[in-house]
Amino acid sequence: MKLILAIVNNDDAHTVNANLSKNGFFVTKIASTGGFLMSGNSTFLIGVDDAQVESCIELIGKYSKKRVQQAPVDMSYTGQPFTGIPAEVIVGGATIFVLNVEKYEHV
């Protein structure tokens, strides 16, 4: 058995959750915040049999789209008197961890 942790942008979280559930995966969704842009994410906890790992990851990838967003860049480390220069950054997609589960109980 595996535990999949998938961190997904909030823009995609509802669609990912709906499609995982529609395909028979039991999902727990936790609100989380990313470090760089401090933007909202959802972290999904999904317990799956070993044989289901790839199909679960494919579903998450299918409904988690990368996109380009403008974000202010702090230039204070350069000694310049201005901050907030916009830069394009890629957001979205999913960060996925697959962990081994030693034991599972539902009590």
Is the predicted pLDDT of residue 14 greater than 80, yes or no?
Answer: yes
Q: 98: Cβ–Cβ under 8 A, 6 or more apart, which residues?
A: 2, 3, 4, 53, 57
Q: Return the domain boundaries, the chain.
A: 2-100
Is the predicted pLDDT of residue 43 greater than 80, yes or no?
Answer: yes
State the average pLDDT for the chain: 85
CATH topology of domain 2-100: Alpha-Beta Plaits (3.30.70)
The model's pLDDT over 25-42, given as tens digits with 9 standing for 90+, comes to: 999 999 988 766 567 889
CA distance 85 to 78: 12
pTM score, two decimals? 0.77
Predicted confidence at residue 60, as pLDDT, reads: 97
Predicted confidence at residue 107, as pLDDT, reads: 87
CA distance 69 to 91: 7
Predicted confidence at residue 73, as pLDDT, reads: 65
